[in-house]
Chains A and B, each alone.
Chain A
Amino acid sequence: MSTLLEVDNLRVTFPTRTGRIEAVRGVSFSLGRERLGIVGESGSGKSQTGRAIMGLTPAQAEVTAGKLAFDGIDLLAASPRDRRALRGKRIAMILQDPKYSLDPVMSIGRQIVETLRTHEKVGKAEARARALAMLEAVQIRDPARVFDLHPHEVSGGMGQRAMIAMMLIAGPEMMIADEPTSALDVTVQLEVLGILDRLVSERGMGLIFISHDLRLVSSFCDRVIVMYAGKVVEQLKASELGRAQHPYTRGLLNCMPKIGADRHPLPVLDRKPEWAA
């Protein structure tokens, strides 16, 4: 398996009035053409990890790493111009809520065409045709109609499909999906995941799936990284989640109510200071 992304000892630090806050503290992993899940609770550093790879860390923060390389390109040494060329073209990112991540004053079709024409030299007519084909690929029934709609005119599930279409149109090799389905209804969630799954495997892309939902991630991904307080506490195969060793992973699995499990009260996480050490 060829390695697409290598991350070694990644750190993201935010200067604040009360001192430096380390959001990500020495995260290392590598990604091939596979589905990797990053799971953790709010503040665990999972989103900052994704953003650092993408190059979307806020300007005041400091990103350091032993190695942060995408397909052999050193991302930390790359110029902003080179990173911009990568972003959207070879590395794409899907955000949580289409209500905020799509431009509200631009029609969905125009946004998709804009992405395509930023990265490739294509004529207007061809760009339109490709955008329509892409909308069809994400199972939007009437692509021509949706092309002209604005984001506020479509449902959350439809908006997220449009987002996926926009991210995939330039044919990226790696995709970072940060809570792509958390804002959606459970039934819609599965449809969107199904589309994402099919497109990712058809195109042989590498996927980083960031989520707080351990069970969802383990049913979707090949491998799972569990983060706590900016660190990786456990890495395991998704199929072996039941055999998780770390008390945090097990606690996280246990504390969710399950249909058919009659546990009152629910077990709660007893956070140990040494987990964050």
Chain B
Amino acid sequence: MTAALSVDRLEVVFDRFRALKGVSIEVQSGESFGLVGESGSGKSTLLRAIAGLAPAASGSITVNGKKLGTRRDKAFYREVQMVFQDPYGSLHPRQTVDRLLQEPLAIHGFADGEKRIQRALNEVGLGTGFRFRYSHQLSGGQRQRVAIARALILEPSILLLDEPTSALDASVQAEVLNLLEEIRRRRKLTFLMVSHDLAIITHMCERLMVMQNGEAVENLAASDLVKRHVTKDYTRNLLRASDGFVRTA
């Protein structure tokens, strides 16, 4: 099996702050890989560095066997798309859904835009009735569906998901997680997903990496985490925290 995405000893430095300290991951094609950690652990930075939104100081990123340079070309964005955390911030407030979805198609010179927009909107369960609405006319869950449609419209093989449901209500979160799983199954996508919530990661991913202070704490299979076969104290703390509040009398 070939790795769809591999990151080798990646360093990201902002001024003099080392946000990522030599992190390596390998995600197989069709796999769903999770990144967990608290704020500032570097999990989002890793995702952004892969997407070309954070500068890599050293190390390498390889996508589908092709090593990436400092600049990403169009072909890269045909393969890799990203869904951001905040659906209120990631959609242009003065563009209709249709316009939002046209943009990637225009950039990449697709002729069959009409068909693709309809397909993408149907796929995320919105339907074409939403096509000429503005984002402020949509709920949080609907906005996140538009963001997912925008990511899917170029038919990428890898989706980078940065806390895609943390801004949503629990019931809407379940709907969006189900949608993501269904799309992955249907399109055989590779997921790299960031979340601070262990339950979401074990639900969505087969393997995961726990991060802290820009470093990998440990790599685990989701099934090991469920059985609580963890080796590091930090992971144990995270597990305990996700059980909820326990009163110490």
Q: How far is A149 from B173 in the complex, measured between Cα atoms in Å?
A: 37
**Nearest opposing residue in chain B for A220, CB measure:** B245
Inter-chain contact A219/B245, CB cutoff 8 Å: yes
- Judge whether A268 is part of the interface by a CB distance below 8 angstroms: yes
Report the separation of the CA atoms of residues A196 and B174 in the bound assembly, to the nearest whole angstrom. 30
The reply to whether A186 and B169 form a contact with Cβ atoms under 8 Å apart is: no
Interface size class of A (residues with CB under 8 A): 35 or more
Contact of A259 among B202, B237, B246 (CB under 8 A): B202
Verify B247–A266 contact, CB threshold 8 A.
Answer: no
Interface pick from B3-11, B78-86, B177-185? B177-185
Q: Verify A187–B237 contact, CB threshold 8 A.
A: yes
Chain A residue numbers with a CB within 8 Å of B246 are 219
* Cα separation A257 to B242 with both chains bound (whole Å): 11
* Closest Cβ neighbor of A188 among chain B residues: B38
B248 contacts the other chain (Cβ, under 8 Å)?
yes
User: How far does the Cβ of B43 sit from chain A's closest Cβ, in whole Å?
Assistant: 12
**Which residues of B lie under 8 Å from residue A78 when comparing CB positions?**
none
* Chain B residues whose C-beta falls within 8 Å of the C-beta of A274 in the assembled complex: none
Partner of B181, one of A185, A220, A251, A265: A265
The tally of CB-CB contacts under 8 A between chains A and B is: 89
B202 surroundings in chain A (CB, below 8 A): 257, 259-260
A-contacting 9-mer, from B143-151, B153-161, B192-200: B192-200
A191-249 CB contacts (< 8 Å) to partner B: 193-194, 197, 212-216, 218-220
The residue that A41 contacts in the complex, of B171, B182, B242, B244, with Cβ under 8 A, is B171
Whole-angstrom CA separation of A260 from B181 in the bound complex: 18
The residues of B that contact A186 with a CB separation of less than 8 Å are 38, 196-197, 238, 241-242
A256, B244: Cβ atoms closer than 8 Å: no
What is the chain A residue whose CB lies nearest that of B165? Answer: A257
Give complex CA distance A219, B246 in Å.
Answer: 7
A265 touches B203 (CB 8 A): no
Contact check, A266 vs B174: say whether CB atoms are below 8 A apart: yes
B128 at the interface (CB under 8 A from A): no
Check if A193 sits within 8 Å of B245, measured CB to CB.
Answer: yes
Contact residues in B for A212 (Cβ distance below 8 Å): 169-170
- Total number of B residues with any Cβ neighbor in A under 8 Å: 34
> In this assembly, does A66 line the interface, its C-beta being within 8 Å of a C-beta of chain B?
no
Whether B173 contacts A187 by the Cβ 8 Å rule is no
B225 to chain A: which residues have CB within 8 Å?
259
For A256, what are the chain B residues with a Cβ–Cβ distance below 8 Å? 170, 173-174, 199
Given contacts A255-B171, A256-B199, A257-B203, contact A156 B39 (CB under 8 A): yes
Distance in Å from the Cβ of B185 to the closest Cβ of chain A? 9
CB of A265 within 8 A of CB of B178, answer yes
Given A219-B244, A219-B246, answer yes or no on A42-B140 (Cβ-Cβ < 8 Å).
yes
Could you tell me the distance in whole angstroms from the C-beta of B179 to the nearest C-beta in chain A? 9
B181–A189 CB distance below 8 A: no
Give chain B residues whose Cβ lies under 8 Å from the Cβ of A193. Answer: 245
B175, CB-defined interface residue at 8 Å? yes
- Measured CB to CB, the nearest residue on chain A to B167 is A42
A-B contact pairs, 21 of them (CB 8 A): A185-B196, A186-B238, A186-B241, A187-B237, A193-B245, A194-B245, A194-B248, A212-B169, A219-B246, A252-B170, A255-B171, A256-B173, A257-B203, A257-B204, A260-B202, A263-B203, A264-B181, A265-B177, A268-B174, A268-B175, A269-B174
> Which B residues are closer than 8 A to A by beta carbons?
38-39, 140, 169-175, 177-178, 181-182, 196-200, 202-204, 225-226, 237-239, 241-242, 244-248
